[in-house]
């Protein structure tokens, strides 16, 4: 049975979320303390759903120590922090994806299913990316990815111009309908999340950064 660690100290969130995960068929272990959550994670689970605001040891430290110990367990962070810089810090700490509170339960469950599928995927397979624009669905190696509207729009633009460098200005204009005036932190956050959802951790990456210009998606036609 798939084992999920839910590290959340708010019972109003932890209890219904644990019930929903169990209905999905997962074995769920709940911890309200960061140090205890790290201990459980190091013993071995298939997925960690991790709140950032934990007592004793916060979620960022849990994630960092988990990665420092060599664990590759997928980590989905829950954050009530609206500042995107905090989200970037969480991803840089080793998290694979994030959901902001308050979240829709259906979205969170879809993210957990997608992360578990990616974790079980055969690493020898060459990634094959398929984007169905009419249904707004994306498939990687035959498995559907759970993307937000902005993530889908960003990947669609990169895929349309695959093999070419797409400037930051163009991405901000097409995806966010805004002009670029210096800061593209929002774009960087979405690129970081897309890379994790694509399993894009090793060189050569599917999404390459062209310093000072923009990004390039390298996939087969």
Domain boundary among 120, 146, 173: 120
Least confident range of 114-118, 124-128, 145-149, 159-163: 124-128
Same domain, 165 and 111: no
Mean pLDDT of the chain, nearest integer = 84
pLDDT for 134 equals 76
Residues 115 and 17 in one domain: yes
22 and 113 fall within a common domain: yes
10 lies in the same domain as 99: yes
Are 99 and 151 contained in the same domain? no
- Averaged over 177-199, what is the pLDDT? 80
pLDDT value of residue 116: 85
- Is residue 28 located within the same domain as residue 65? yes
**The two three-digit tokens of residue 131, written as one number:** 């984007």
Indicate whether 158 pLDDT > 80: yes
Assess whether 150 and 169 both reside in one domain: yes
pLDDT tens track for 58-77: 999 999 999 888 888 999 99
Q: Does 103 share its domain with 138? A: no
Q: Residue 215: what pLDDT? A: 94
80: containing domain: 3-120
Model-level pTM greater than 0.85? no
pLDDT tens for each residue of 81-127:
655 556 677 777 888 888 888 888 988 998 898 888 765 544 444 44
* 15 in the same domain as 88: yes
As for how many domains the chain has, the answer is 2
- Check pLDDT > 50 for residue 47: yes
Q: How far is CA 212 from CA 39, 45, 159, 165, 166, in A?
A: 42, 40, 20, 11, 11
Question: Which CATH number fits the domain that encloses residue 46?
Answer: 3.40.50.2300
Q: How many residues appear in the chain?
A: 221
Backbone phi, psi, residue 47, to 5°: -160, 140
pLDDT at 128: 62
The residue ranking higher by pLDDT, 80 or 215, is 215
| pLDDT at residue 180 greater than cutoff 70 | no
Reported for 138-147, long-range contacts at CB under 8 A and 24+ positions apart, including other chains, are: 140/198, 140/199, 143/114, 143/117, 143/118, 144/114, 145/114, 145/197, 145/198, 146/107, 146/110, 146/111, 146/113, 146/114, 146/197, 147/194, 147/197
């Amino acid at each position: 049975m798939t084992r999920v660690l839910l590290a959340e100290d708010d019972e109003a969130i932890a209890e219904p979320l644990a019930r929903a995960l169990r209905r999905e068929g997962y074995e769920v272990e709940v911890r309200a303390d960061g140090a205890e959550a790290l201990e459980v994670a190091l013993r071995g689970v298939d997925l960690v759903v991790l709140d950032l605001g934990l007592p004793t040891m916060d979620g960022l430290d849990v994630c960092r120590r988990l990665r420092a110990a060599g664990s590759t367990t997928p980590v989905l962070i829950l954050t009530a922090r609206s500042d995107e810089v905090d989200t970037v810090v969480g991803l840089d700490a080793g998290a694979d994806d994030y959901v902001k509170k308050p979240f829709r339960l259906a979205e969170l469950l879809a993210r957990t299913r997608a992360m578990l599928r990616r974790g079980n995927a055969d690493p020898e397979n060459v990634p094959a990316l398929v984007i169905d624009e009419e249904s707004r669905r994306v498939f990687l190696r035959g498995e559907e990815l759970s993307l937000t509207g902005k993530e889908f729009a960003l990947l669609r633009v990169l895929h349309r111009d695959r093999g070419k460098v797409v400037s930051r200005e163009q991405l901000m204009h097409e995806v966010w309908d805004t002009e670029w005036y210096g800061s593209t932190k929002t774009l960087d956050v979405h690129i970081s999340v897309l890379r994790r959802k694509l399993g894009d951790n090793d060189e050569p990456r599917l999404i390459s950064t062209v310093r000072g210009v923009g990004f390039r998606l390298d996939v087969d036609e």
